[in-house]
Amino acid sequence: MSTRIAEPPEELLEVEAPSDDPTEITLMPVGRLRRRGLRAPAWLRGGNAAWIWIGLAVAATGFVLLAIAWGQVAGETEVYLQVPYLVSAAFVGVGVLLIGLTALVIATKEQEAAAHRHEVDELLAAIDELRQSLLETRRSAR
Amino acid sequence: MKRLPLATADPWRVSVGLLLTAAGAGFVAMVLGWRGAAARTSVADQVPYVVSGAMGGLALVVFALAVLVVQVRRRAEALRRADLGRVRAAVADLAAEVRLEAERGR
């Protein structure tokens, strides 16, 4: 029984067709767009370790907001005076904490992806080296 | 065919932009909830602002960030599959060369 392997999905974008025919649609790999200068600055790219520290700092800010909310709420004896602190500092603090954690999760995921891409590039280089040595052997056998 | 500007041509960028906007809207809802609650002196009047503004805003932030994480994971998975496709193509090329060499050797 033969098994058919699905084609790998390629990240493509519809961009301006460079050919003479204006009705023709050209699909261009996203990487080429990025090489055209649409890439984010190096420190903003996902794989950068700075994002981990940014995520931790934002999460810490969320905890600080929660601590401020607790301090203010504890200093009031009337519930109606406590509620605004609950909304402005506690809820916002939880939101900021979640933003920081999300940044942390995405940053670590991007770092893993960058490491994976590096491994794949190394594997491709090894395969290419093997192919070159095979061609070399064929040439020398002639 | 109408062409999209490059910034909006990438669906992933568009989705990230929309999700970050939704998260920002969640914080705006929290600020509105705080303003409404701070302007009232009765807890019974404040509770609707807490529920709609603060809890609703927080729910929007949580939803947007969760979908953002899902989107990032999906993109990483698509890139991983594309990488594996490159490896598979390279191995197929190599196998073809080896097969050719074996046929010549016979």
Main-chain phi, psi angles of A49, to 5 degrees: -65, -20
Which of B46, B18, B66, B19 lies closest to A88 in space, CA to CA? B46
Residue B3: pLDDT band by 50, 70, 90 thresholds? low
Question: Rounded to whole angstroms, how far apart are CA atoms A93 and A64?
Answer: 8
Report the complex ipTM. 0.78
- Residue numbers in B near A112 (CB within 8 A): 76
Question: Rounded to whole angstroms, how far apart are CA atoms A54 and A67?
Answer: 20
- Residue numbers in A near B54 (CB within 8 A): 86-87, 91
In this prediction the pTM is 0.72
Q: What is the pLDDT of residue A46?
A: 65
- Total of domains in chain B: 1
Model confidence over A16-75: pLDDT tens digits? 444 444 444 444 454 444 545 556 677 766 667 888 999 999 999 999 999 999 999 999
CA A48 to chain centre: 9
Local structure of B4: helix, strand or coil = coil
Distance from the Cα of A126 to chain B's closest Cα (Å) equals 10
Model confidence over A79-129: pLDDT tens digits? 999 999 999 999 999 999 999 999 999 999 988 888 999 999 999 999 999
In a domain, B14, yes or no: yes
Name the closest residue on chain B to residue A10, using Cα atoms: B82
Contact B24, B58 (CB under 8 A): no
Domain carrying residue B73: 10-105
Model confidence over B38-89: pLDDT tens digits? 999 999 999 999 999 999 999 999 999 999 999 999 999 999 999 999 999 9
Question: Rounded to whole angstroms, how far apart are CA atoms B106 and B88?
Answer: 27
10 Å CB burial of residue A83 (0-12, 13-18, 19+) is buried
In a domain, B83, yes or no: yes
